[in-house]
Chain A
Amino acid sequence: MLEGGSTGKYLCCPLSFTQAGGAKVDTKRQPAVSMRGITKTFGKVVANDNVSIDIYKGEILSLLGENGSGKTTLMNMLSGIYYPDSGHIYINGKEELIHSPKDALSLGIGMVHQHFKLVDVMSATENIVLGLKEGRKFDLKTVADRIREICSKYGFDLDPDQKVYDMSVSQKQTVEIVKMLYRKADILILDEPTAVLTPQETEKLFDVLRNMKKDGKAIIIITHKLNEVLEISDYVDILNKGKFIGSLKTSETNAQEMTDMMVGHAVKLNIDRPEPKDVKPKIEISGLTVIDEDGIPKLQDVSFTINSGEILGIAGISGSGQRELLESIAGLQKIESGSIKYYEESGKAVELVGTNPETIRKMGVSLSFVPEDRLGMGLVGNMDLTGNMMLRSFRMGGGLFTNRKIPHDLADEVVKALSVDTPGLSTPVRRLSGGNVQKVLVGREIASNPTVLLTAYAVRGLDINSSYVIYDLMNKQKEKGVAVVYVGEDLDVLLQLADRILVLCGGKVSGIVDGRKATKNEVGLLMTSLGGAE
Chain B
Amino acid sequence: MFNFDIFFQSAVKQSIPLLLGSTGETLTEKSGNLNLGIPGIMYVGAISGVIGSFFYENHLNAAEAAINPFLGICIPLLCSLLGSLLMGLLYCFLTVNLRANQNVTGLAMTTFGVGFGNFFGGSLIKLTGSSVPSISLRETSKCFQKTLPFADRMGVVGTMFFSYGFLAYAAIVIAICAAFFLRKTRLGLQLRAVGENPGTADAAGINVSRYKYAATCIGSMIAGLGGLYYVMDYASGVWSNNAFGDRGWLAIALVIFTVWKPDFSILASILFGGLYILYLYIPTGTNMAIKEIYKMFPYLVTIAVLIIMSVRNRKENQPPAALGLPYFREDR
Residues of chain A touching chain B, judged by Cβ–Cβ distance below 8 Å, are: 81, 100-102, 105, 117-122, 126, 129-131, 133, 138, 163, 165
Contact = CB atoms under 8 A, between A and B. Distances in A.
- Most chain-B Cβ atoms within 10 A of its Cβ — which of A119, A120, A133? A119
Contacts of A133: 186
Nearest to B316: A121
B190 A121 contact: no
Interface stretch (B36-44, B73-81, B166-174, B193-201): B193-201
B301 interface: no
- A interface, by DSSP: helix, strand, loop or mixed? loop
B315 A130 contact: no
Given A121-B316, A122-B196, A102 B205 contact: yes
- B interface, by DSSP: helix, strand, loop or mixed? helix
Given A130-B193, A130-B204, A138-B185, A117 B199 contact: yes
A121 B318 contact: yes
A119 B200 contact: yes
B189 interface: yes
Contact of A130 (B184, B185, B201, B321): B201
A518 to B, nearest CB: 43
B192 interface: yes
Given A119-B193, A121-B321, A100 B200 contact: no
B interface residue count range (under 10 / 10 to 19 / 20 to 34 / 35 or more)? 20 to 34
B200 A130 contact: yes
A126 B318 contact: no
Contacts of A100: 205
A101 B207 CA distance: 12
A130 B190 contact: yes
A393 to B, nearest CB: 29
A138 B332 CA distance: 29
Given A118-B197, A119-B196, A120-B315, A129 B189 contact: yes
B176 interface: no
Contact of B189 (A81, A102, A117, A130): A130
Given A101-B205, A131-B204, A131-B206, A119 B192 contact: yes
Given A121-B318, A121-B321, A165-B315, A101 B192 contact: no
Contacts of A102: 205
Contacts of B196: 119-122
B148 interface: no
Contacts of A118: 197, 200
Given A130-B200, A163-B315, A122 B205 contact: no
Contacts of A126: 189
Closest 9 A-B residue pairs measured CB to CB?
A131-B204, A117-B200, A102-B205, A138-B186, A131-B205, A117-B203, A119-B196, A130-B204, A119-B197
A490 to B, nearest CB: 29
A227 B190 CA distance: 41
Interface string B132-169: 00000000000000000000000000000000000000
B195 to A, nearest CB: 9
B99 to A, nearest CB: 16
